[in-house]
Each structure stands twice: as structure tokens, then as C-alpha cells.
Chain A
Amino acid sequence: MFEVLRNETLAPQVHRMVVRAPRVAKARQPGQFVIVRLEEGAERIPLTIADADPVAGTITLIIQAVGLSTQRIVAVQAGGFIRDVAGPLGKATEIHNVGKVVCVGGGVGTAVLFPLAAAAARAGNEVTTIIGGRSAPYVILRDELAQFSKEVLVTTEDGSLGVKGFVTAVLEQILNDPARKPAEVFAVGPVGMMAAIVKLTRAANVKTVVSLNPIMVDGTGMCGGCRVTVGGKIQFACVDGPEFDGLAVDFKELSDRQATYKDHECKLTGK
């Protein structure tokens, strides 16, 4: 059993939870995730570790309650327990000092972006961060990212905060400005957003790292449910990822596979 020490709401349906998991906290590196199973009978849900405190033995998870399982997880208050937390899983982020990097986060993807951006800054990079959301309340971690970013640019679809529109428009401006053009882009968010970003960075010939969150069961390479095609080869996001060369990822297939269980109950029985 893993105790929940804190649970706060960051945005509508987005919670920041601090969980006691000493072994995970000690081993964790940026970019890794855990598999969480709330209770007996529940699904195994992969969640990126946003932060870890090896001394306190705690990890921080930022969770968007999109389905029943995540809704139940974020309903656990401080003092409550999560039955299973396994990890840290996946490969750690490979961070090098390349000079300028742009980090792009969409929605709750910003939570996954946060440790990558922090690690990029720690490695000596000049970090420009672009984060977007549906409207102002959905823009998360702006202040936290500002602590190590040269600037944090915000976009909202309704214009309620920052620039009206999508993160891609802001990124495109930066890519087209020789003075600001980065050596590398990190992008985390909905599959459609990452696909759109890669379209821009491919044209601009900029290395792009994306973090993928496909459907997953065990998280240890055993089932292959999280397979994605990268550079024409099958890769397992749980052990070969979750970060991949965005320019090589087959986003069409990924987006397709993400929809497998959208309405699975009746899909194939023809009912």
C-alpha cells in the first residue's frame, strides 16, 4: 500500500498528488513513469513521475482525470492509500547541453514536460517553454516552469490567457526566427499536437523528442500492447521509451491504436 500525502487540484480535473514510494523515489530519473493500480480489480494506469524526493521517499504525480480509473485515483485524499505503485519504468530522458531548446506542453502533457524541461535547464540549456490549454484554468505549472525557463509562452484556444490559438503557431514563429531557432524541441501532449509539432520541426530540420503514452498493461515489456512504429520498427513505449525521436514516430498509427477501447463493449460483437 502506498500512502497519499498530498492531493491538490491544479486545474479542472487535474490533480497533483504526492505519494510515499521510497524505492521508486530513490531510483527515479526524469522521463520515467510508474504504473498505478488503485485497488483490487482496478486497471493498471501508467503515470509520469513529475518529481521525486529521494530523501523524503516521495514521488509527485500529476494526473488528469479523463476516465473512471483516473477519476477514482484523484479522489483519494491525503491519508488515503493506493494499492499498487510499480516503477520507475521506462528509459530516463537523454539530456545534453545543445544550447537552445524549446519545450512544448499541451494540456496535462505539460506535467510530463516539466521534469524534462527542468533536466534540460539543469544541463545548461537555454530553455524556452510553450504551454497551451483549452482556456486559462487548464494551463498548468506556469510558475514552476518559469523558475528555470528563459520565457514561458502561453496559448489558449479561447484566448483567455496568453496568445489565442495553439502552441504550434508560437513554435512556428520561433522556428522561423534564426535568432531563436532551437537545436532541439521537446514536445509532450495529445497525439494530434505532437504530430502537428513534428510537421513543423521536420520542415525546419530540428531534432524533436516526444514522450508517448500509449495503451499499456504491465509496463515491463511483457505484453507489447504499447507498441509504436518508430523509424519503421516496432518499439515498446514501456521499455524502449516513453521518449522517442518524434520525426520517426508513426503518429497516425499511434492515434488509431489509442482509440482501441473508446467504445469497446459493442464494437466487435456487432451489438
Chain B
Amino acid sequence: MKHCDPEEISLLALGETPSPDDAVHLLTCDECRHRWEDLCRIVDTARELHDDELLAPPPHIWAAIAEEIAEPSTVTALPARSARRWAPWIAVAAAVGVLLGGVVGVALTRPTTPATTVVASAALDPLEDYATSGAATVEVVDGAERLAVNVSDLPQTDGYFEVWLLAPDASSMIAVGTLGAGSSSSFPLPPGVSLADYPVVDISLEAYDGDPTHSAISVARGTLPA
């Protein structure tokens, strides 16, 4: 027994008229009739759809979810000494950074390499006396989140550059890693870190002084989109 052409069954489900052979076959062949009935249900459902069938939830829902799932902060308290030293300055700089740091893009962009999905990115803009700029990207690489940083025009230094994630008001921060000799580095993000709590990517100039806290000298900064 010759089955109906699947293309013909699709057309019949849409309401086109069957050939006499197809009509007879559909009556006698369970396999073809089953396919036809499935497609008829899909066509009927599709024809009932309203223009507003698929709507995104109102924007405040994500904020409520993000608040509910926020995990306890993983940041260790900073020594009071250094907090006193740089906090006011850095808070002002953070505000400037928010103004300067143009948001490049949100959401999914096409993967750059097969296993990489970019979930957020931000431009890094120079601060104060520096010319350093570039971009920071949050990527999912083989299921793990990473922060990729790419900068140019780093100042000459005897020290080194460190990458941080800051709270919007710079009241707390997480050291992500040390920028290598090149201008590009990628760091694993600490599991459970909330980018809603630490959206500001900051690059600091550090001296080899053994002090693990932020030097209060930032060369570039940008804010990841919420």
C-alpha cells in the first residue's frame, strides 16, 4: 500500500481538497490518518490564535524574581582602614562610571564560538586621567559563566591591573582576577554571584604592596545591563 505524500497530508490539513486516491487511502491507513488528524488539530489551534497570544510578562516580575532568588553576598568584609580611605572617592567615580559606561547590549547574541553564549556585555570607559577603554562580556562557556575583559591603552606601570565587580554604589566589591600581560583575559565568575548586585566592572591599577584591597585607582569602568 502506497502512503500519502506527507506534503499532500499537510495541504489536506489546511483544508485543500484531496485526490480520490488520497481520500480513500486516508480512510484505510491508520498511520496516514493519524498524521492527518494531528496536523488538523494544529491547524485548528493556529487559526484560533489571537494577536496577543504570546505576551512577555510585565517588567517588574523579573525584578521581583531577582530579589527573591538573590543569594547571600559572598563578599568578605573589607578592612575598615581601606574602606575609609577610598569609599567616598570610589562612590563618586561609580556614579561617573554609570554615566559614561554605555551599555552595549543585553540578552542573547549569536555565539562567537560554538560553545559560547554571550549573556551580557558593557563598554568599559576611561576614568579620570586615563585613556583605557574596551569591553566586558559575560559568557557562558560549556555551562560555566565567565567574565571576559578586553581593553586597550592601559597606562605604563610598575604594578599590575586587577578586575573587580562592584556594587552600584561601590559599597562592596569582588576581586575577579588579575589582568594578564595581554589586553584580553577571561575569568571564571564565582558561583552564585549576582550581577544584579555587582553590575559594575572595574579595572584598577595595583602596586605590588601586598595589600589585597582595591588601590582606589581605577583606570576603566562600565556597567553591565540589569
Asked if A and B bind, the verdict is no
Binding site for A on B (CB under 8 A): none
A interface residues (Cβ-Cβ under 8 A, vs B): none
